[in-house]
Every structure is written in structure tokens, then in C-alpha cells.
Amino acid sequence: MGNTPIHPLIHKEKRLLNWLLFFWLCLTYVQYMLASITELQLPMEARSPASINITILRIVTEDLLRMDSKSAILFPFFVFTLLMVLHGGLHWWALFKNINQCYLWPYFLLQAVCIWLIYFLIGADNAVFGLWLTLAIEAFILLKRTSHIIVVVAGCLLFCFVIQGIVLLTFLSDSKGIPDLAVAPKLIKAIAEGSPILLFVCASLILYIQQTSAHRRDQELLHELETAHIQLEDYAARVKDLTLTTERQRMARELHDTLAQGLVGLTMQLETIDLLLISQRCEQARTFVQRAMTRSRATINSARAAITDLRTEIPMTGDILVAIETEADHFTTATGIPCTCCLQTKFPGEYHEHLLRMVSEVLTNIARHAQASQAWIRVGGENAAITLEIGDNGIGFDPAKVTTGHYGLQGLRERARLMNGQLLISSEPGKGTIVRLCLSLERGGEDGRKAE
């Protein structure tokens, strides 16, 4: 038996049922003792089978044990009382002393033998039905496995049917197989008295099986619910980790595309101003100082806009093509490198922020590394696809030899992934560089926004 603690309320209800069964057993004993003593005063033909059996046992006792008539009358009741005490003692041991599960089968077998001895002694089928019913209910209390309960209860029902068969054969034997109007009511009465008890036991067994099945289903559902809850907690933890990772990547992109790019542009302009001052070209230096001031203000505004976007997720408004042309003009003004624009197709609104950041990043890389004399931006579309191409005629590079730490290229790839697009970088040393972004309109930008 397990050591699982029992709830006090359940333990109290169980003990109450145990006392009820024990009281039922005592009531059965008292009832049939009084009934048998009363019927012993009646003629033989008017007695019930119980009193007839006691009378026969009294006669046998007088002949075999040579007892007087008074002692012979009391002896059957003494034997019956002794068997009932044994039967009740076994019930007490099982119900109130927490019998070990390994002793239950011998216990039920011994109880069955005791009930049979009581039946053969008093012949009271109704009393024996009550004893069998008590034993069946006790099986529900003591046994843990449904299959064991079914075996014990089925055995009790089988014995009850055997007793009913004995009663039937007794009446048929008395009538010698010939229908008798006097015998028929007694037969019907005998069968009717035992049938409700049998039906009650059958109904109790069916109800117990249904409740056990329902409890098992509840336990399975509870286990599935606990498993789902654990999985949900695991998924929530994963989503939290992914969200933190995504936000870190997003902040890195925004910092790189605003502050880093702005500072790079300011550094380049300050280097130009330094060269102009060395060569005593003060007017041109003043012009670049004003451009640097404008660039610094634009960088501050971009940083503030990035912070606001990180906090409030405000969508970008305005014409993306105009914004790209403006970015190209700023590039030409700052570097002196002409940048031609051929913009034939508009992008969906949800792409605008990513596209403008990508254009700004590529143009910054051209200004820093390409040593180009010409740059271009082209936008075209066909077959539900849009292509953005940014190129230059600079010194180029080998994409396969790009080492880690180039956050600009990493940011370009992340933005392309968020738009469900494909980023292609074509470059060779001495042959310039082309950055091409291919977007499919069929998948749309909504998935990209969800991925972010």
C-alpha cells in the first residue's frame, strides 16, 4: 500500500461507510435471530427455511451429541452466533485495521466460506444475500484495481444466483414438478425478495466502473493539461528569448544606421575641412563646416526618430522614392560623387523604413570604401517582384573574404530577411560593387513585420 496521505474529509467519509457496513452486519444478525426464535413457535409447515434448518440442526444435535432438548435448541444459535462473530471480526479487521493488499484474496475467500456455512446452517437466503452484498460493497472499499473488484463482485453475484437456484429447486422439489397454485406465490415471493439485492449489486458495479472510467479520463486530461502547461511555459520562455534577441538586433541596426553612419559622415567632412584649412582655403572649409553642422543636426534627429520608433512603433509616412532621391542628393553633396536614380516602381508602405536604411547604409559604404567616381540607384519590378539595385564603379572587394565585425552588411541581411527578400552582393576587386535586393509582393511585408 502506498504512503499517499488521505484528505481528512475523505478519511472521515470512509470511516462512516465502514461503520455503516458494520452496523448493517449487526442488524442482519439481530433481525434473523429474532425472526428464527419467533418462527420456532410455529408449526413445521408454516416455518421459513431458516427456522426449518435450525430445527433440523437441533434434532441432529440431540441425536449425535446426546443433549437435552433445551441445550439442543440453543446449540444452533450458538453456532450461528459463533460464525457471525467470526464473520464480523474479519470485517472489523479489514475495515478498521488497514489490511494489507496481499491478504485481501485469502480474506475474501475465508469470508465466502464463512457465509456459505451460515447459509447451510440457517438457510435464510435473504440474510445471506445481505452478507454477500456487504462483502461486495467492501470490495469497492478495499480493492484498488477495477479488475479485482469485478472478480470479487462477480463471485458474490454468482453465489447469490446459486442460492436463488437452490430456492427454485426446493420449491420445484416440493411441488414435484407439477404447477401448484399454493407453491407459485411462495416461489415468486422468494425470487422477488432476492432480486432487488442482486439488481442493486449489479447497478453498483456498473456505476463504479463508469466512475472509474470517468476518473481515469479526468486523470488523463489532467496529465495532458499539465503537459500542455509545461510546453506553454517552455514556448513562452523561448518567445521571450527570441524577443530579446530580436530587440537587440533591432537596436544594433538602428544605432548603426543612425549614430554610426552620422558620425562616419561627420568624420569624413571634418577630415576634408582639415585638408582645406591646411591649404588655406577658408571659404571652402566654412562651407564644409556648415554641411557638417547640418549633418550633425540630421544625425541627432535620426537618433531621436530611432528612439521614438523603438518606443512607439510609429510607421514611416511619405513617398519612399522621394526619400531615396533625397538621400542620393545628400550623398552627392557630401562626397562629390554623382549618383543617378532610376526609380520606376513604388514599394509597399511597410517596406519604407527598411529600404531607406539600406540605401543610406550602402551609400555610406560607397563613400568610405569604394573610391568610386559614379554611383546609381535603380528600382524596377516585374512578375509580382520588385528589385532595388545600388551600385558603383569603385575598387570593389571579395565578398567571400569579408570578416566578422562588419555590422553594416549584417544589418543589410537582417533587413532583407525581415522583408522576406533576398539580398545579393556582386563584387570583384577592380570591377565595382552591386547590391541587389529582390522582393516578392506575393508574400507581402506583413510577414516581415511579424518577424520583427
Coil/strand/helix, residue 59: helix
pLDDT at position 391, please? 94
CA angle, residues 302, 303, 306, in degrees to nearest 5: 85
By C-alpha distance, which of 304, 338, 344 is closest to 320? 344
pLDDT at position 433, please? 93
pLDDT at position 378, please? 93
Q: Rounded to an integer, what distance in angstroms lies between the CA atom of residue 168 and that of residue 173?
A: 8
- Domains of the chain are 8-178 (no CATH), 320-452 (3.30.565.10)
Spatial contact of 198 and 217, defined as CB atoms under 8 Å apart: no
Phi, psi (rounded to 5 degrees) for 337: -90, 120
Spatial contact of 362 and 436, defined as CB atoms under 8 Å apart: no
Q: Which secondary-structure segment (H or E) carries 134?
A: helix 125-142
Coil/strand/helix, residue 131: helix
pLDDT mean for each 10 residues of the chain (452 residues): 44 65 76 62 48 47 48 64 82 77 81 80 67 79 77 77 67 52 56 62 68 79 88 80 69 66 75 82 81 76 63 57 88 86 83 84 84 91 85 88 68 84 90 91 49 37
Buried b or exposed e, range 247-257, using 16+ CB within 10 angstroms: eeebeebbebb
pTM for the model: 0.40
CA distances from 115 to 82, 112, 160 (A): 12, 5, 11
**Dihedral angle at the C-alpha atoms of 13, 18, 21, 23, nearest 10 degrees?**
-100
pLDDT at position 80, please? 76
pLDDT at position 72, please? 47
